[in-house]
Structure 1
Amino acid sequence: METKSHKQLHIFFFPYMVQGHFIPLINIARLFASRGVKSTLIATPLNAPLFSKAIQSSKKLGIDVDILVIKFPTEEVGLPQGCENANLVTTLEMNEKFIKATLLLQPQIEQILDKHRPHCLVADTFFPWATDVAAKFGIPRIIFHGMGFFALCASRSVALYEPHAKLSSDSEVFTIPNFPVEIKLTRSQMPNVPKQSAEITNLIKEARESGEKSYGSIVNSFYELEPAFADHYRTVFGRKAWHIGPVSSVNKAADDEASLDRHECLNWLSSKKPNSVVYICFGSMTNFIDSQLQEIAAGLEASGQEFIWVVKREKNDKEEWLPEGFEERMEGKGLIIRGWAPQVPILEHQAIGAFVTHCGWNSILEGASAGVPMITWPVSAEQFYNEKLVTVVLKTGVAVGAKQWGTFLDVMTEASVKREAIEKAVNQVMVSEEAEGMRGRARVLREMAKRAVEEGGSSFTDLTSLIQELGSLGA
C-alpha cells in the first residue's frame, strides 16, 4: 500500500543487539516493507547474518528489506572481539562495557541519517540518544520497547508512585497505583536497583526521559489482548502508540517452511494426541543452575505428562543437571532439545497443551497467538508484570510460584522453585477441573490474534494509520 507522499516512505530500524529485541524488530521491518515502505535495518557485522537469514525468507514473497552494517566498538570499551550481542555478556563488568559500546554508536547513526535522510527512525528504547539524533535531522524517532501495554503501564505507574519504596520487607504485598485492574506484587518481584549497576540504572532513567520527547511507540501487541492498558497508556499517560502485532505472524509461511525442514521435534509431536504435550522453554537469556534443572526434570517426571523441554546445554558424557537414567525412563514420553528450537511452529502444533515460560513478552505473545495456556515462571526484566497479565487478567495460565526477581547475570546458589510446585502447576493446566476453561479462553485469544493482523483488523488498521501519518509528515 503506497503512502500519500509522492516519494516512497523510507524508515530505518535500529534494534538493540539481543535476540528478544531484534527478532521482533526485524519482523516489524518486514511488516512495513510488505506495505510498500522502503525498510532498512541497521546491524553490526556479527548480527547481520542473523538478520539476513530472516530476511531471505521474505524475499521469495517479494518483500525486500535492506541491511546497513555499522561497526560495533568492542575494542574501544575493552570487550572481547565479536562480543556484539548481549546474549554473549556473562558478567556485570562486561554488561557495563556493552552499554558503553552502544553509547558510542551515536556518531555512526548520525552519519547514516545525514547521508540517507529517511522519513523516520524506529530505534530500540535502549538507545536513548536516538531521539535527539533524529531531531537533529528533523525526523521523528519512534521507540520500540519490546514489551506490551500492560507492562508499559505497570512499570510507569511504579516509577511514578514508588509504592514499593515504603514497605517494611521484601515479601510485603503492594498494589500498583492508578491502574485499570487490581494487581498485587511484592518488592522481591520488582527490578532490584542495588543489583543493577549504575550504568543500567542510568540507561533506564535516560530511556524514560527520551521516551517523553520521542514521537511515540510501536508496540508488538494487539488491541484485543490488552484493551484497557492500550487505552490507559494513550489517554491517562498521554503517549502516542500504535499496536501492530503479533508481528511473528508476518511472512510466517516462508519462515515455517524454513524451520520445518530442519526440526525432527515436529514429527515427534505429530505422533501425539491433541493438547497432550507440555512445552518448556525459558528464552535466550535465562540460565538455570544444575540443581534447578534437576527440580524441573523431577517435577515433569512426577506429573506423568508428555513434554518437549528446550535446554541451553551441550550434550556431554556426564550430564549432572539430569537425574540418573532420566532420558532412558522418558524415552518416547519426553523430548529434550539442546540449544535452539522452532518455538512458533511448536506452539502452534495441536499436540501442545501447555507452555512453561519465563514470561518474556515475545513468548507470551507467541503463546497467546497459538492459543496455548501457560505456566508462568518469571525471572527478570518486566516478566513479573507479564505473569500477572496471564494469570490475573487473561486467566489463561497459572503461576509456578517464582518469588525473586534477578538480573540475567545473577548466579543462583539453590533451586528457587521446587519439583512439587512444578508438578502441581503442570497438572493444573493439563488435567485439572479449571484446565478446560483456561484452554477455552486461550483459544479465543488465538482467534483474536489472527483477526487483528488481517485486513480491517485492529493491528492492520493501526499500522495503516501510522504509515499515513508518517507519509503526511514527510510530504
Structure 2
Amino acid sequence: MESKVHRPRVVIVTVPCPGHIIPSTQLAKYLLSMSIDVCCYSTGINYPTVENQLEEKFGDVRIRFRPLITNSEFVSPGKELTDNVSWMQGPSDGEMAVRLEEIVRNLTPPPVCIISDLLAGWSQDVADKFRIPRHVLYTMPASALLFSFACFPSLISPQVAPEHPPGTWNSMVVTTHAFYDYMMRNARRLQEASFILVNTFEDLEGRFLDLMRSEVIGKPNVQKILSIGPLIRSSNIEMVSAHSKPSAREEHESFAEVMHWLDAREQSSVLYVSFGSLLTVTETQIHELAHGLEICGRPFLWVYRVPNTPQILPADASTEDSLSEGLPPGFLERIQGRGKLIRGWAPQEKILAHKSVGAFMSHCGWNSSLEALWSGKPLVAWPLAVEQRLTARYFADMQLAVEVRKNDDSIVESAEVVQAISLLMEEREETGIHSKFDRMQELAHMAVDDGGSSRSNLQVLIDSIKNQPNPLT
C-alpha cells in the first residue's frame, strides 16, 4: 500500500450550490481512490447550507467542504442574503484569495495544484503565487463553456463558433449588473488555467469540445480541455463507496415512504417532476402545471417548492398542512392515490433509477440532465434560467427531450403540459426519443468504464497530479 507520506495533495474549491458541490465531491472521491489527498473548501457564507446538501446527497464522512469564510465574519445579525453574488461568495475576490493563500501556506505537505470552480477565478492568483497549476472544474455543459469563450473574440471568433443551438445565446445574458460582472470576470480567467475539466462526455458534446480544443488550447495558458463526466454518484468513477455511509436523509422515514410509493406503481408509469433545489416558478405557473398533471391522468411524483421561495436557501421539509400552499384549491384531494408531492429534499438519483419512473420533467440543470441520461429517463425539458435553455434546446434537437413551449406571457399552459407528457410517455415509438435516449445512456456508461473517454481523461489528470513537482518542497 502506498505510504501516505508520498501521496500528492490537491486543494479543491467549489461554490455553495448543489450543481457545483455534487461534481466537486465526486471528483474529490475519485482522487482519493487514486491515492491523492484532497483538501476541500467552499466559497459563500451560508456554509450550513453546503454541509446539509452534502450530507443529504452523499453522506460521506471523508469529504467535507470547509468554509473559507464564515457567516459571522461578514454578515451582521438580521442581514438577509438576497442576491446571488453575496450568497455564493460574499467578500471580494481579493479577500477570498488572501484567505485561501493563508490555508495553502500552512498545509503540510503543500498542494501540487488547485482544482477550482469556474466561479472561483480569484484562486488563479493563489496558484500563481505558489507557482502551482490551477485546473478549472467546469460544472455546466460544454455548450455553455463555448459561449463563455466566445465572449472574448481573442479566444474564439464568432465566425469560428456560431451560436448553437441557434437562438439560445441571448438566454445566457443576465440582466443583473452585479451578477453579470461576477460571471464575466470569472469567465475571463478561464484562459489562465492549465486544464479545463468539463463534466460531460465526448459522445454527448464532442462537437463543442473539439471546436474549443482547436481554437483555445495555448491561448495563452490552456493546455488541455478534458471531458471527465458524468460526475454523479451513480457513475462508475465512484471508487470509494466502501468509505461511504447512508445519509441521515436516506435513513429517514420519508425516504422509505417515497420508495414504497414508487414500488406500488407499474413499470415506467410515473412522471417525476422537479425543477431543482434553488429556483421556483410563479403561482400562476404552478396552477397551470398542477392542472396539466391532473388532466394527464398519469401517476406523478412532484418535488414541490412554494412559489417565489427565496433562492438563497434550499426548501425545507414541510408539514402536510403547508404542502397545499400555492396550489389550486382541492388539488391534493383530487390527485390522492395517483399523485404524490414532496416538499423539500428528494433522493433524486434513486428516484430516477426506480423502474416505475418513465420520464422526468426537469428544469434541465446540468446535474439533473446527466442523472436523467445515466438512469435512462427521457426529459420533458422546462428550462428556467441561463444555461438550462442551452441544454433544453440541445437535448430537444438531439431527440433526447420534448421541450415545452411558453405563451406570450412566458407561461407554459396546462394544455402544453398535457401534450408534452403525452408525446414522451404515450407516443414513445412515434417520437423516437426513447431509443435515442437508451443509446445515449449506454454511451454515458461507456465513457466512465475502463477504456472510456472520460476514464482515460481522468487518468491524464491523475498522471499530471502525480508527476507535478511542488516548488514549496
Shift of 1:155: 4.2
* Match in the other structure for 1:172: none
Change (3 A) 1:252 1:424: farther
Partner deviation per Cα, 1:260-283 (whole Å, 9 max, x = no partner): 543121211112122111111001
Cα distance in 1 for residues equivalent to 2:460 and 2:88? 36
Shift of 1:97: 7.3
Alignment of 1:343-362 (within 5 A): 343-362=348-367
Shift of 1:396: 1.0
Give the partner amino acid of 2:55. Answer: K
SS class of match (2:271): strand
* Match in the other structure for 2:200: 221
1:33 aligns to 2:26 (yes or no): no
* Match in the other structure for 2:313: none
Cα distance in 2 for residues equivalent to 1:436 and 1:98? 40
Change (3 A) 1:345 1:433: closer
Cα distance in 2 for residues equivalent to 1:208 and 1:317? 41
CA contact (8 A) 1:292 1:415 kept: no
* Match in the other structure for 2:48: 46
Shift of 1:58: 4.5
CA contact (8 A) 1:311 1:337 kept: yes
Alignment of 1:287-302 (within 5 A): 287-302=280-295
Shift of 1:237: 2.9
Pick from 212, 224, 230: which aligns with 1:246?
230
Give the partner amino acid of 2:404. Answer: V
Give the partner amino acid of 2:165. Answer: I
CA contact (8 A) 2:268 2:356 kept: yes
Shift of 1:180: 7.9
Pick from 150, 166, 191: which aligns with 2:172?
191
CA contact (8 A) 1:158 1:177 kept: no
Shift of 1:160: 4.1
Cα distance in 2 for residues equivalent to 1:121 and 1:53? 24
Shift of 1:256: 9.0
TM-score norm. by structure 1 comes to 0.82
* Match in the other structure for 1:458: 453
Partner deviation per Cα, 1:362-410 (whole Å, 9 max, x = no partner): 11111111111101111112111111221113x1111112489xxxxxx
CA contact (8 A) 1:283 1:358 kept: yes
Change (3 A) 1:96 1:71: closer
Change (3 A) 1:378 1:97: closer
Alignment of 1:344-383 (within 5 A): 344-383=349-388
1:71 aligns to 2:73 (yes or no): no
What value does the CA root-mean-square deviation take over the aligned residues?
A: 3.1
* Match in the other structure for 1:16: 15
Shift of 1:102: 5.4
Give the partner amino acid of 1:295. Answer: E
CA contact (8 A) 1:70 1:108 kept: yes
* Match in the other structure for 1:327: 332
CA contact (8 A) 1:218 1:243 kept: yes
* Match in the other structure for 2:311: none
Change (3 A) 1:218 1:438: same
* Match in the other structure for 2:130: 137
Partner deviation per Cα, 1:312-362 (whole Å, 9 max, x = no partner): 244435935222222222122111111110000111111111111111111
SS class of match (1:327): helix
* Match in the other structure for 2:91: 101
CA contact (8 A) 2:300 2:339 kept: yes
Cα distance in 1 for residues equivalent to 2:57 and 2:261? 28
Give the partner amino acid of 2:290. Answer: A
Cα distance in 1 for residues equivalent to 2:87 and 2:56? 28
SS class of match (1:185): coil
Q: Gaps (5+ residues) in structure 1?
A: 84-88, 162-175, 405-413
Change (3 A) 1:150 1:298: same
CA contact (8 A) 1:354 1:372 kept: yes
CA contact (8 A) 2:150 2:161 kept: yes
Q: Gaps (5+ residues) in structure 2?
A: 307-317
Shift of 1:207: 1.0
Give the partner amino acid of 2:375. Answer: A
More displaced stretch, 216-225 vs 273-282: 216-225
More displaced stretch, 373-382 vs 64-73: 64-73
1:400 aligns to 2:395 (yes or no): no
CA contact (8 A) 1:10 1:37 kept: yes
Partner deviation per Cα, 1:234-280 (whole Å, 9 max, x = no partner): 22332522222212122696779546543121211112122111111
More displaced stretch, 65-74 vs 11-20: 65-74
* Match in the other structure for 2:261: 268
SS class of match (1:247): coil
Query: Percent of pairs identical after alignment?
Result: 27
Change (3 A) 1:216 1:223: same
1:467 aligns to 2:462 (yes or no): yes
